[in-house]
Structure 1
C-alpha cells in the first residue's frame, strides 16, 4: 500500500530533495506525483524498459522491518517510463547510466521514508482525524478525483481499502510533523549554503538565450532546507540498522 502514497506527505517535504549522502540532484520546487498502478498494456511496456528479474523479494531491512520489492520495482518502472517519454533510449549508454543512478536514488528515498516514520513513532507523534481527512483530500487532488466514490473505486482496483489508505496518510502526517520539528533546530552555516549554491550553479548547463540563473537570495531557503535534511537523514541513518540487498 505504501507505493500508492509514496508521492504524498513526507516525500513532498524531504525526498524531492537530495537523498542522504548528497548523490541526488536537488529539485525542491518539484512536487512529487502519487504512484498509480498502470493498466496491463502500460505494464507490459514498462516491463520491457527495465529488467527487474534480479531484484530480491526483500530489497532492504530497516531496523528489523523488511522492505518489499514491490514499491521499489513500481518506482523504477515509473522512472523508466518517464525517461522513455522524454525520447531517451533506456538501452543506450546515457539511458542505462541514468537508470543506474535512479536505482540508488529510489532506494534511498524508500529507506529515508521508513527511517523518518520509525523516528516519528518513537517520539509518540500523533495525527488527528482532521489532519488525516485533509491528507486524503490532498491525495484525491493529486489523482484528479472529485468524490470519495471515485477514490473507493481506485482503491478497490489496487486491492486495498480506505482504512489502509488512512493509516498510510496518518504515517505521512506524523512524519511531516517530525521533520518540521527537527529541521527547525538544525543550524546551517552561510559558508555551506554558499558552497552548495556555487556547486549547483557550476553543474548547470549553460543558460539559453537570455535566461537568467537564480540568485542565491532566491534559492537560499531551499538550499538551507536541503542541507538541514541531509543532516537529519544522516543522523537517522547513523543511529539505525540498515541492510541493503540490492
Structure 2
C-alpha cells in the first residue's frame, strides 16, 4: 500500500523514491505497533509532532507518519545488522516526511485530474497483497489492524496507491525494462550481496553475478520487476518535486 513514497532503502536519493506498494514487501503486513516513544530496540519517536506536516491544507498526522516510519526503521535495522552501520534516524525521519508529502501531493493531483479507481480494482489489489504475504485477505486486514489500520483505512490506502499509479502512468507512460538493465541490476545485486558477506536474496549456487545468486534466468522476472519499480520510484520523485514547487507545504518536524 501507499506508505509514503519516500523513506526507502540504500538506493534512495532523497524524497519520494520508495516503491508505492510497500505492503507487498515481506514483513510489512506484520510490522511493529505504532505510536511508541523510545524503546531499547526501537527508534526515538518522542519528537514527532501532530500533525507532522500540512499539504495544501491537508494534515499528515503523527499516526500516519509512525505507521510508515516504524516499518521502514524495522527494515533498515535488519540491513544495519548485515552492514554494521547504524540506522540514521534523522535522515529516515526526513525521508519519511518527504515521502508522505509527495504521496499526498500526487493523490491531490490525481483527484484534480479526475482519476478514478473502481471497487473491483481495490479488491483485486487487496487480494494481491494478501497473496504476496501468503495470507488470506481477511488475515491481511487483521495484520494491518495490529498497526492501527482498520478495514476502511486499508481500503483507502489501496485506493490512494492505485490513483497515484494511474497518475504516474498517465504522466510517464508504461515503464519498459531492457535486457541490459536487467543484467546490470543482477550484477549490482550480486555485488551488494558479496559486500554484505552473505548469499543472494534468492539463495542458491554461484553465478556470474556473484554473491551466491542463482542463475539470472531463474530470477529474471524478479529482477525485471525490481528495475521497473525503481523506474516508477524515480518518476514519482520527479513528479512530487514538480508538484511541491507550486504547493503550500508546511513541515513541523
Give the TM bin, normalised by the shorter chain. Answer: 0.5 to 0.7
The residue that corresponds to 1:137 in the other structure is: 127
Matches within 5 A, 1:209-220: 211=209
Scaled by the length of structure 2, the TM-score of the pair is: 0.62
Unaligned runs of 5+ in 1: 186-196, 213-217
Matched, 1:111 2:118: no
Matched, 1:166 2:155: yes
Distance change (3 Å), C-alpha of 1:109 and 1:47: farther
The residue that corresponds to 1:23 in the other structure is: 14
Q: Is the 8 A contact 1:46 1:80 kept in 2?
A: no
The residue that corresponds to 1:38 in the other structure is: 32
Unaligned runs of 5+ in 2: 175-183, 196-205, 211-223
Q: As a proportion of its length, which structure holds more helix?
A: 1
The residue that corresponds to 1:231 in the other structure is: 238
Q: Deviations over 1:207-226 (max 9, x none)?
A: 769747xxxxx999777655
Q: Is the 8 A contact 1:47 1:77 kept in 2?
A: no
The residue that corresponds to 1:215 in the other structure is: none
Q: Deviations over 1:188-239 (max 9, x none)?
A: xxxxxxxxx9xxx9xx879769747xxxxx9997776555444322211112
Aligned equivalent of 1:69, options 62, 67, 84? 62
Q: Which has the higher contact order (CA 8 A, sep 6+)?
A: 1
Task: Give aligned pairs, total.
Answer: 211
Measured in 1, the distance between the counterparts of 2:77 and 2:228 equals 33
Distance change (3 Å), C-alpha of 1:118 and 1:47: farther
The residue that corresponds to 1:193 in the other structure is: none
Aligned equivalent of 1:128, options 93, 118, 122? 118
Q: Is the 8 A contact 1:183 1:229 kept in 2?
A: no
Measured in 2, the distance between the counterparts of 1:24 and 1:104 equals 8
| Deviation for aligned residue 1:76 | 2.9
